[in-house]
Amino acid sequence: MSDCSADEDPRAALAGAKLLLGITGSIAAVKAPGILTSLLRGGAQVEVTLTRGATRFVTATGLAALAGRPVRRFWEEGASPHLELAKWADLVLVAPASADFMGKAASGLGDELLGSILLATRSPVLFFPAMETLIYQHRLVQDNVRRLRETGYRVFEPARGRLASGEEGLGRLPEPGEITAIAGEVLARRRDLAGVGVLVGAGPTREHLDPVRFISSPATGKMGYALAAAAAGRGAKVVLVSGPTLLEPPKGVEVRRVTSAVQMRQAMGAAWPEARVVLMAAAVADFRPAQVAGHKIKKKDAALTVSLLPNPDILAELAGTDRSARVVVGFAAETGPAEAEARRKLREKGLDLVVANDVTEPGAGFEVDTNRVSIISVDRREDLPMLPKAEVAELVLDRVVALLRAK
């Protein structure tokens, strides 16, 4: 988790924070009173709402007694409090999150108070799924997890261990103390980049041979978009220079779309003066065809020789200019042990950090929603576990914030 705990306890951010705890229909809802108690002990103000499914496992009376206020319901006293609660909450926790509720939330359904609050809130939303492994790993549930993440919600991987069925596996709700610590971290990060200009490069570049053919890479932009979303969530003014991708732009981010490396260089250069942080996750093609045909190249029964020119190294060029007050982060896509190459890039490109990923490892690198990275600086190397890209982004930003404070 965040190393903001190095000098301050992230739970300190809970004091006085306004949290909404949404409990949904999973047997793990029996842990909800523990979560509520833990959040209250941290000094948070907590409003609680239950879905209909959750009432089979916990009672509104018991939770109200712990919270010292009534559990919130749809149409209480003739009006629905969804807008009031959506605006009030600094943070929304869905714990446990059932497969059924995640499916509804991923479809934008608001037939329960919690669903309506999610549609109306602009505060961070954290989902803690809890269910049997077979259900969690079902393709439809995983599709819903992906949609929720693409919407900007944080969906945490469940823990491994003994499940309600008696089987061992993935699907347990984390312990209340862990959920409280995560909530504290998210709150502590909330405004730590407020007003800071952050420039992100994402996606592939395309180097056209003719109007319908190009040299490119499998990059989808997921890593860069996760960084942009995380920075915006922490209050940064984000410019996202994006190569071609099908992804929706994250909320609150200014997107500048480009196709080729030369265009990306131009767009990054234009945004550089306003940026105090530069995060370059784009997979820039190192070469471009020397000549671009104006029409589709006709098929022939002879070999076609293409002459390639080197593309500019965007990051090296930018980092080579005045960057004394900036933090510049590159990524290193490696196809084997990454450290030596990553360190060479750190040195030669003059970067503050390199985030190295082995793109041959299943679940890491191009296209997937997860990544396993090492964060490398001149004097440190930190190996992170396999995590959703949204989590990797937060952890990279934790390091960036620490470096900015030191500048």
- How far is residue 338 CA from its own chain's centroid? 23
Pick the stretch among 24-32, 37-45, 135-143, 307-315 that binds ligand PMT (CB under 6 A): 307-315
| Least distance between ligand PMT and beta carbon 124 (Å) | 22
Pick the stretch among 121-129, 165-173, 206-214, 331-339 that binds ligand PMT (CB under 6 A): 331-339
Output the DSSP codes for 348-396: HHT-SEEEEEETTSTTSSSSSSEE-EEEEETTEEEE--SEEHHHHHHHH
Task: Please pick, from the candidates 186, 333, 353, 375, the single residue that binds ligand PMT as defined by CB under 6 A.
Answer: 333
| Least distance between ligand PMT and beta carbon 186 (Å) | 22
Task: Please pick, from the candidates 32, 145, 241, 281, the single residue that binds ligand PMT as defined by CB under 6 A.
Answer: 281
Q: Which 354-393 residues touch ligand PMT, going by CB under 6 A?
A: 357, 359, 365-367
| Least distance between ligand PMT and beta carbon 332 (Å) | 4
> Measuring CA to CA, which residue among 312, 319, 383, 382 is closest to residue 346?
319
Nearer to ligand PMT, 39 or 261 (CB): 261
Residue count of the chain: 407
Q: Which 8-state DSSP code applies to residue 71?
A: P
45 binds ligand PMT (CB under 6 A): no
Task: Please pick, from the candidates 33, 96, 250, 330, the single residue that binds ligand PMT as defined by CB under 6 A.
Answer: 330
Nearer to ligand PMT, 176 or 203 (CB): 203
Whole-angstrom distance, CA of residue 318 vs CA of residue 277: 12
| Least distance between ligand PMT and beta carbon 388 (Å) | 11
206 binds ligand PMT (CB under 6 A): no
| Least distance between ligand PMT and beta carbon 244 (Å) | 11
Annotate 207-262 with three-state secondary structure: EEEECCEEECCCCCCHHHHHHHHHHHHCCCEEEEEECCCCCCCCCCEEEEECCCHH
Task: Please pick, from the candidates 36, 114, 283, 401, the single residue that binds ligand PMT as defined by CB under 6 A.
Answer: 283
Output the DSSP codes for 268-297: HHHHGGG-SEEEE--B--SEEES---SSPP
313 binds ligand PMT (CB under 6 A): yes
The single-letter code of the amino acid at 70 is P
Query: Where does residue 361 rank: exposed (0-12), middle (13-18), buried (19+ CB within 10 A)?
Result: middle
149 binds ligand PMT (CB under 6 A): no
215 binds ligand PMT (CB under 6 A): no
222 binds ligand PMT (CB under 6 A): yes
User: Are residues 324 and 350 in contact, defined by beta-carbon separation less than 8 angstroms?
Assistant: no
| Least distance between ligand PMT and beta carbon 276 (Å) | 18
Task: Please pick, from the candidates 144, 220, 260, 370, the single residue that binds ligand PMT as defined by CB under 6 A.
Answer: 220
Pair type for strands 373-377 and 353-358: antiparallel
Q: Is 364 left (phi over 0), alpha (psi -120 to 50) or beta?
A: beta
Q: Is 74 left (phi over 0), alpha (psi -120 to 50) or beta?
A: beta
User: Are residues 181 and 10 in contact, defined by beta-carbon separation less than 8 angstroms?
Assistant: yes
Runs of H (alpha helix) within 12-138: 32-41, 60-67, 82-88, 99-106, 113-120, 133-136
Pick the stretch among 2-10, 39-47, 157-165, 277-285 that binds ligand PMT (CB under 6 A): 277-285
314 binds ligand PMT (CB under 6 A): yes
183 binds ligand PMT (CB under 6 A): no
Nearer to ligand PMT, 85 or 342 (CB): 342
84 binds ligand PMT (CB under 6 A): no
* H or E stretch covering 161: strand 159-162
Task: Please pick, from the candidates 21, 315, 346, 404, the single residue that binds ligand PMT as defined by CB under 6 A.
Answer: 315
332 binds ligand PMT (CB under 6 A): yes
326 binds ligand PMT (CB under 6 A): no
Task: Please pick, from the candidates 145, 187, 280, 397, the single residue that binds ligand PMT as defined by CB under 6 A.
Answer: 280
Size of the site for ligand PMT (CB under 6 A): 29
If one counts every other C-beta atom within 10 angstroms of the C-beta of residue 180, the result is 26
By CB under 6 A, name the binding residues for ligand PMT: 201, 203, 219-224, 261, 280-284, 286, 311, 313-315, 330-333, 345, 357, 359, 365-367
